[in-house]
Structure 1
Amino acid sequence: MKKNYVNTLIGILFFSIVKSQVGIGTPNPSNSAVLELNSSNKGFLMNTISLASTQSASPLSAHTEGIWVYNTATAGTAPNNVIPGLYYNDGAKWVLMSINSDIPKIGDIKSSMVNADHEGWYLMNGRNTSTLPASAQASAATIGLTATIPNTADRILKGKNTSEAFAATGGASSYTLSQANLPNLTFTGNTSTDGAHVHTYTNRGVNYWNFNAGSLSATRTVNTETRTTGTAGNHTHTFSVASGGTSAPIAQYPKHMVVQYFIYLGK
């Protein structure tokens, strides 16, 4: 077997020197190709290796521009992590080959009408990361999700401000107005001043009653008496008006369409 292998190699090398092109499966390789493969029922199997990250040449000894490999490993830390796929080396790093110009990165979020995990995208439903595949757990840890995936049920996405942490949740689906939320207004008013009414009061003034007895005059004092006012004296009344409310909260959802949110943790 070893002898046949050596003879075949010598034959290929000799043929290459003579014709400058090598054909496997064809006696007439293209003049524009150094090597041409031809088969109606077989394909070309790329060399498979396990890369460590896009920045590391390993398991090669150094980055070499133009080398192609098929990577079988899911490894590294975002954004330099690698996933299974065809890579080429540009002399400084490994580059994943794809016809899609928008390759998802670990931590990317998308909305979708799909209702289950798919192609490395995981439903953001608050589950424990320990329930995910090992590779997805490792990817989740690189972006700080070590316990649970955030739950986006009934939530919209909000941009981070300087005091917030990524994946923090907050807000409410409704709110209730309190007195402090109302404008500072004073409602005043008076009732009509000529409404008919009476008041009864005790008059404690001193009244004098004069009379004559014979040739002598006398004065008698009356200390108190009860009087009634007229029915049309000016007056005011205070009053209160109930709002009739029941403190029901106000729903704050605008018009919307329901979708699912997914986070990309790699295939």
Structure 2
Amino acid sequence: MKQIKRNFFNILLLGCILFTYNTTVSGQVGINTSTPKSTLDITSPGSATTDVAGVQGSRLDLAELTAKGNTLYGADQTGAIIYITNVSGGNNTGQRLNITAPGYYYFDGALWQKLNTPQPVVRDGDIMQSFKASDYDGWYLLDGRALSSLPDKAKAAAVSLGFTTNLPDARDRVLKTKDTSEGLASIGGTNSMSITRANLPDISLSGSITGTLASAGAHTHTASSTLDAGGAHNHTVNGNLAAGGEHSHITSGNLAAGGAHTHAFSGTLASAGTHLHDLSPVIYVMPGTAKDVDRGYGAGTLWSYIATSTYTTSSSGNHNHTISSTLAAGGRHTHPVSGTLASADGHTHAVTGALAADGAHAHEVTASLASTGAHTHTASGSVTLPLGGAQAAMDNRSAYLVVNTFIYLGL
């Protein structure tokens, strides 16, 4: 603040007028002294306790000053001093904007300013945030404008601060203190960011996988142990089957017997065509030499002769034989079959080859195979687990209050 704002001797200018006695004087004026030391020199009359020393300026209340309007005081009244005794009336608009309490005020050519009120000391380059919307009292909004648009004094101050073409643009930015490598007025940062894989934490996500493991065509499983049956099922076979208990086989060829064995029968065997049977019974015959011998009355021409002979019967066409016993196999043999053979007893068939499965694959077996039902396959490979994101950018800003940033470039 200019020295005049702080110097109470401005009040003495009023005293000069009060003690001129309405006469024109020149030179220096002294009160209670014949040798004034300045334009107006007021000396205390002495040490008398009844003398009230001091100088008083024009006194009025805010209502009286309001009644004078906003045009009575102008440039010619710059430096005028008054004392406001009361602010309960009138108003503090226009030139009276700063009159808020009783006290001495001086007129600066536009507004009444309070005397002896410490003013903040500001220097070119100081920064302030405010709810002001535009430049005021030497403070310029940091909006990135060109230096050429500033008044000459403000432009010179901006250049002295290192700005060359434009003021910094502080809109939608926060202020930070520079580090050792940054330059003043540097701009950086962004209001939003997109996460990349490198920004993700180093963790594994759990999830479920739905898909099919492809067999890649025909393949085989090598078994060297016994597989347990997991339930009744069928195998289509073109070779030798090993029986695992009572079961049935659908067969369209010849089953080769694996050695001597028996089959129990309790029904009728149908002949497969004409055939012969060898018989060895006792047959009564009449020899030719005795056929003319008279055997007596009533004998006719029949003579008997007991003899043992072997004869063969002739085939009489298709016929049946009823059997109620057990047929014993006479060694390795085959049975032609055109239906389903039900096993009558548990037995086994030896298998030394590969069983063809219902699909295009094979099982190499070196022991008894039994189905286990449900089983697992171990698979290894790469799995893609979608996270379901939309790759939207994140707001990178904290909660905020909007203000304007100003720089001081002087009046």
Distance 1:124 1:236, change over 3 A: same
Please report how far the alpha carbon of residue 118 of structure 1 lies from its aligned counterpart in structure 2 after TM superposition: 0.8
Please report how far the alpha carbon of residue 184 of structure 1 lies from its aligned counterpart in structure 2 after TM superposition: 1.6
Q: Does 1:20 align with 2:20?
A: no
| d(CA) in 2 for partners of 1:203, 1:258 | 73
Q: Does 1:265 align with 2:409?
A: yes
Q: Does 1:246 align with 2:264?
A: no
Please report how far the alpha carbon of residue 173 of structure 1 lies from its aligned counterpart in structure 2 after TM superposition: 0.5
- Provide the secondary structure at the position in 2 that maps to 1:262: strand
Amino acid at match of 2:169: N
Greater C-alpha Rg = 2
TM-score of the pair, normalised by structure 2: 0.37
The 8 Å contact of residues 203 and 224 in structure 1, kept in 2 or not, is answered as no
Instruction: State percent identity of aligned pairs.
Output: 30
- Provide the secondary structure at the position in 1 that maps to 2:198: helix
| d(CA) in 2 for partners of 1:107, 1:151 | 14
Q: Deviations over 1:23-45 (max 9, x none)?
A: 86x8xx52159xxx999898798
Aligned to 2:43: 31
Distance 1:208 1:127, change over 3 A: same
Q: Please, which of 140, 143, 147 is the counterpart of residue 122 of structure 1?
A: 140
Q: Deviations over 1:113-156 (max 9, x none)?
A: 01101111111001111111111110001110111101111100
Length, aligned pairs only: 190
What RMSD, in angstroms, separates the aligned Cα atoms of the two structures? 4.7
| d(CA) in 2 for partners of 1:20, 1:140 | 52
| d(CA) in 2 for partners of 1:117, 1:189 | 60
Please report how far the alpha carbon of residue 21 of structure 1 lies from its aligned counterpart in structure 2 after TM superposition: 2.0
The 8 Å contact of residues 28 and 38 in structure 2, kept in 1 or not, is answered as no
| d(CA) in 1 for partners of 2:221, 2:77 | 122
The 8 Å contact of residues 130 and 137 in structure 1, kept in 2 or not, is answered as yes
Q: Please, which of 106, 115, 118 is the counterpart of residue 100 of structure 1?
A: 118
Aligned to 1:234: 376
* Superposition pairs of residues 166-245 of structure 1, within 5 angstroms: 166-187=184-205, 201-202=219-220, 225-226=356-357, 227=362, 231-236=373-378, 240-245=384-389
- Provide the secondary structure at the position in 1 that maps to 2:27: helix
- Structure 2 segments unaligned to the other structure (5+ residues): 1-23, 46-54, 59-72, 80-107, 109-115, 210-216, 224-237, 241-255, 259-329, 334-351, 364-370
TM-score of the pair, normalised by structure 1: 0.55
Distance 1:215 1:253, change over 3 A: closer
Amino acid at match of 2:203: L
Q: Deviations over 1:207-256 (max 9, x none)?
A: 996879x9999xxx967833587541123467543211101111122221
- Once the two structures are overlaid, the 10-residue window that deviates more, 164-173 or 98-107, is 98-107
Amino acid at match of 2:385: V
- Structure 1 segments unaligned to the other structure (5+ residues): 1-7, 46-84, 86-97, 192-198
